[in-house]
Amino acid sequence: KLEEVQRILCPPGSNNNFALTNKKIDLPELQGDPLEIAKEKCEEAARKINGAVITEDTSLCFTALNELPGPYIKWFLDKCGHDGLNKMISSYDDKSGFA
């Protein structure tokens, strides 16, 4: 993940003169809207290291399931697996979603 961010923010030949490092920080597992979770995680991480941060959080939202599992995708996969998620949306015409 760090290499991907470095390629985006500090591509070869760019004049960006800042260093990027990664650091594992234990953050609480928040519940709620994906955007609010991402914002709160970023703010908490910044407080913990007393500096600027970039965090990553994963969500998967299916239209047919009213945007579930959303930020709870990890737990859905742990309990249901990929097949279980596929079965949940199989009876719906609209199988669209976003991550």
Dump pLDDT digits (tens) for 24-49: 898 888 888 888 999 999 999 999 99
Domain ranges of the chain: 1-57, 58-99
Dump pLDDT digits (tens) for 49-66: 999 998 888 899 999 999
Contact 47/39 with Cβ under 8 angstroms? no
Residue 8 one-letter amino acid: I
Element (H, E) at 81: helix 73-90
Does 69 have pLDDT greater than 90? Answer: yes
Determine how many CB atoms are found less than 10 A away from the CB of residue 71.
23
Q: How many angstroms separate the Cα of 47 from the Cα of each of 44, 50, 62, 92?
A: 5, 5, 33, 43
